[in-house]
Structure 1
Amino acid sequence: KWFAIHNVANRTAHVHMRQPDQMHFFCATDERLQWLEKDFPDYLKALDNSCKRSGKKFLSAETYEALLLTSKSTVLCVKFLLESGFFYVLTRNLSSDPVELLFSSLRQMAGGNDCLDARAVTFSLERILRTGNLCPSQSSNM
């Protein structure tokens, strides 16, 4: 269900494929948004507790947090767009890739350091603004 909700690509696929979870969002009180906001996190928490009790492995902490963050972000984004006057929302193209590209570029400009300090981030952001390039060309010596 989670993947179906995040893969809404058009306004008719839910009819042809008989997948009600892939219907476009047109109401901020849609039950799928409530499922993402309340039921899905509760389900993950129960699954995590069950795995801990039985000694089995669960999702990594990062994956767990990413699922919760993506779910919450999707709910907030869809509600915001609908309340701002959009007639419907398709979730397939909602993506954090541009943000991840920026963070990746900042780390790369700091020499691949995963623990960036404020000075390194400021320097890298200023460099991006000066050059207009997020990533240097493969053939450059930059």
Structure 2
Amino acid sequence: MRKNGESYSTSIKTPIPLFMSFDYCDMIKNWRNVVLDHDMHSGNGITVARFLKKIYDIKHKLIIKSVKFLTRNHIFPANAEKINVCRAVHVFSTEVRAAIEYLGKYNNPGSVDVEETLKLMEMMHTFLKIHEVNDKTQHIRQVNENSAPGTDINDERLLWMLKTLPAYIDSIQLSSKANKMTGLTKETTEAVKFTAKSTAECLKYLLEKCGFFHVCFNARI
């Protein structure tokens, strides 16, 4: 969020700061809808939806399904389906990304577009995993360190939210514009960056100022 070129504060000044954020589930849905709607340029290559659609097409031709939960509603959502959070999460799942990686390896070896599509999906999957942490053992059950609670102000995920993710989003917007392509919507861009920054600043505040031993990112919302 910006006002006259300046970023809005992520918190309201009260005796105990009130940190604000957008619903991360809505952002996942918006990203999914944009990814399926049009290609974008990331600076190194083009993120394309045809890989997702190809996985869906292949699924119907094989007895053994690479991604058995993928349905037409995931890839060609009607208006009502575009607000379905679960299906949006499925699109960025590890299973779908693995299937695209396999497809790229054997059908499009060395394809930069495959790599960039996977990178975009990985970025949103990481964003999701960080924000859906609910307890101290979730990362053990899911075998994913991004699902661990925050316990250290030097957590690498803070740098990822404050620097890596915003820089990646900016590269998509600038490169897409330079290549006469459509990037993310302005609202989605600002909401993702604002929420990531708010999450990082909230974690630092709770650990440094409030003496918390661990912070579950989703539990703070």
Q: TM-score range by the shorter chain?
A: 0.5 to 0.7
Q: Could you list the runs of 4 or more consecutive aligned residues of structure 1 that deviate by over 4 angstroms after TM superposition?
A: none
Number of aligned residue pairs? 95
Q: Which amino acid aligns with 1:51?
A: S
Over 3 Å counting, the alpha-carbon distance change for 1:56 and 1:94 in structure 2 is farther
Q: Structure 2: how far apart are the matches of 1:76 and 1:16?
A: 27
What is the one-letter code of the residue matched to 1:16? R
Counterparts in 2 of 1:78-89, with a 5 A limit?
78-83=203-208, 84-89=210-215
- Which one of the candidate residues 130, 146, 171 is aligned to 1:5? 130
Unaligned runs of 5+ in 1: 96-142
Q: CA deviation at 1:29?
A: 0.9
- Residue identity over aligned pairs, in percent, reads 35
2:133 aligned partner, one-letter code: V
- What residue is the counterpart of 2:220 in the other structure? 94
Question: Gaps spanning 5+ residues in structure 2: where?
Answer: 1-125
Alignment TM-score, normalising by the size of structure 1: 0.64
Structure-1 residue corresponding to 2:174 = 49
Higher relative contact order (CA 8 A, sep 6+): 2
Q: Deviation of residue 54 (structure 1)?
A: 2.1
The equivalent residue for 2:196 is 71
Post-superposition Cα deviations, 1:84-141, rounded to whole Å, max 9, x if no partner, equal: 200100011333xxxxxxxxxxxxxxxxxxxxxxxxxxxxxxxxxxxxxxxxxxxxxx
TM superposition score normalised by structure 2: 0.42
Q: Which of 151, 165, 175 is the equivalent residue of 1:26?
A: 151
